[in-house]
Structure 1
Amino acid sequence: MPELPEVETTRRRLEPLLLGRRFLDIRHGDLRRYRHTEKALGRRVEGLLRRGKFLLFPLSGGLEMVVHLGMTGGFRLEPTPHTRVAFRLDQGAVFFHDPRRFGRIWVVERGDYREIPLLSRLGPEPLSEAFRFPEFWEGLRRSAKPLKGLLLDQRLAAGVGNIYADEALFRARLSPFRRGREVNPEEAQRLFQALREVLGEAVALGGSTLSDRTYQQPDGLPGGFQARHAVYGRQGLPCPRCGTPVARAVVAGRGTHFCPRCQT
């Protein structure tokens, strides 16, 4: 699933194409997944924002288009065999591509997320000034959940998913099995800093494109952070820190990669 770096990269690539443009036509065949899109017709795109893994498009007239890319969703500049939504603009067009059809689009009154409850529950953005260590530490020490599950929960830090949770835990030298309340302040500080570093580097490199090439930037280019993965997807390969084979387990229902020696 595209995570914060992939969604942020998509936002940055779309911004010069969509900002100030007006939707003339929006075509799709799924009213359940792509809700109220007719309300966006004739509206001008007034901004392109991101919240966690959601893209937010403020529209003229007080409306907002909210996009969640799901597992395989993304925007393309040309139609593909997996185009699900075609947006014709007063200048150009973009296409929502989604092979597995888990992506969702809503058009709502601006800020009214009653149809999208997760969006209202998101924690702070980990690359913003709102992401502060005291609150992060408090969230850890009050929880009996494993660290991997806490990072995926979206309330400690919005937008973190499987790839970047594994990479941040490796960089912080913390086991994904450790409970939040078992972490001391120095370890919590390492994890706090590791999240910011890993996510910042991934955004700078355009996110991670895995072997299935599901995620691509709108112009078709891959991300570059996959070349820096220390543990994610590297089961059985040597840990770049100590040489121990990278292990894989299931934590919080997700496949999790870690070094059994370095991460304690």
Structure 2
Amino acid sequence: MPELPEVETIVKGLSPDLLGRTIEGVKVFHPDVLRQPPQDFSAELRGRTFDSVSRRGKNIVACLTGDTVLVVNLGMTGRLLLTQKASDATHPAVRFTLDLGPKLVFDDVRRFGVVEVLSGLEWNARARQFGPEPLSAAFTAKKLLAGLKESGSPIRSWLLNQRRLAGVGNIYANEALHIAGIHPQRSARSITGREARRLHRALRSTLRQALANRGTTLRDYRDASGAPGGNAAALTVYGRVGEPCHRCSAGIERTVFGNRSAFLCPMCQPYEPGEKP
């Protein structure tokens, strides 16, 4: 699933071509990605002009005229593409025709993504449910530690909870925990102040590196122009089972909990007595 760096990269690619553009037509190929009837969805958007395109957590948020907000969550395999011709999108679910320039297409082979229209009030209420943005000034090591002490869940699960922290998914949670030297199954409340400071630095450095590399493409992710991200080569543990740890050369291991794969170095991220949940 695209995470903060991937969604932010898409937003930056969309903005120059969408701002000031007006939606002239909407074609819904697969209504199951919508949260309202296709005719209502299309009517809400037709004639609206893009005022801004931003990101909140893993969501692409387009504010349009008339107090209308178009929210796109890419799910597992979704892509939001600017296309000159229909063949550029292989699994189109929704296509937006603009008054000028390329078409905007939500393309999703598995159709776990969601495209919906909200009012500004509705979106603001939803946005308040998310945790802090990990690259914001408001997200400090002190606040991270305070949040961790409230929870007995595994630290990896805590990081994936969007109400705790917005935008972090399995790739960057695993990467940050490895850099910080913390086992992903450690209880969140067992994390010490020193470890929380390391994890805070690791989260921010991992996300900034991925942003600089325009996201991580393992299979499905593409930016707004259809290009893959370049961060896969920089991953230290995610998807590297059996390969040597860059720090100590021990083999990277995979474990499964919470229905998600976790990747770790058994030497750099050990358990200690009393740390298991």
TM-score range, shorter chain: over 0.9
> Is the Cα contact below 8 Å between 1:126 and 1:196 reproduced in 2?
yes
Query: Given the superposition, is the C-alpha separation of residues 205 and 196 from structure 1 closer, same or farther in structure 2, using an over 3 Å criterion?
Result: same
* C-alpha deviation, 1:125, in angstroms: 0.6
1:100-123 CA distance string (max 9 Å, x none):
111111111113049x95x44210
SS at match of 1:77: strand
> Is the Cα contact below 8 Å between 1:20 and 1:45 reproduced in 2?
yes
* C-alpha deviation, 1:81, in angstroms: 2.3
* C-alpha deviation, 1:151, in angstroms: 0.4
* C-alpha deviation, 1:241, in angstroms: 0.7
Give yes or no for the alignment of 1:167 onto 2:175.
yes
| Counterpart residue identity of residue 106, structure 2 | F
* C-alpha deviation, 1:157, in angstroms: 1.7
Give yes or no for the alignment of 1:18 onto 2:36.
no
Give yes or no for the alignment of 1:90 onto 2:99.
yes
Give yes or no for the alignment of 1:66 onto 2:66.
no
Give yes or no for the alignment of 1:254 onto 2:260.
yes
Give yes or no for the alignment of 1:129 onto 2:134.
no
Aligned to 1:39: 44
Q: How many residues align structurally?
A: 260
Counterpart CA distance in 2 for 1:160 and 1:38 is 34
Specify every segment of 5 or more residues in structure 2 that has no aligned partner in the other structure, as ranges.
271-277
* C-alpha deviation, 1:32, in angstroms: 4.2
1:24-69 CA distance string (max 9 Å, x none):
0011134442232420110000000100000110110111111100
CA RMSD of aligned residues (A): 1.5
Give yes or no for the alignment of 1:51 onto 2:39.
no
> Is the Cα contact below 8 Å between 2:69 and 2:123 reproduced in 1?
no
Runs of 4+ in 1 over 4 A off after TM superposition: none
> Is the Cα contact below 8 Å between 2:3 and 2:168 reproduced in 1?
yes
1:129-155 CA distance string (max 9 Å, x none):
121222211111121111100000123
Tell me the TM-score normalised to structure 2 length.
Answer: 0.90
1:147-195 CA distance string (max 9 Å, x none):
1000001233200001000000011011001101111100011001111
> Is the Cα contact below 8 Å between 2:31 and 2:93 reproduced in 1?
no
Counterpart CA distance in 2 for 1:44 and 1:142 is 43
Aligned to 1:215: 221
SS at match of 1:157: coil
SS at match of 2:202: helix
Counterpart CA distance in 2 for 1:246 and 1:85 is 40
> Is the Cα contact below 8 Å between 2:79 and 2:106 reproduced in 1?
yes
* C-alpha deviation, 1:252, in angstroms: 2.3
Specify every segment of 5 or more residues in structure 1 that has no aligned partner in the other structure, as ranges.
none
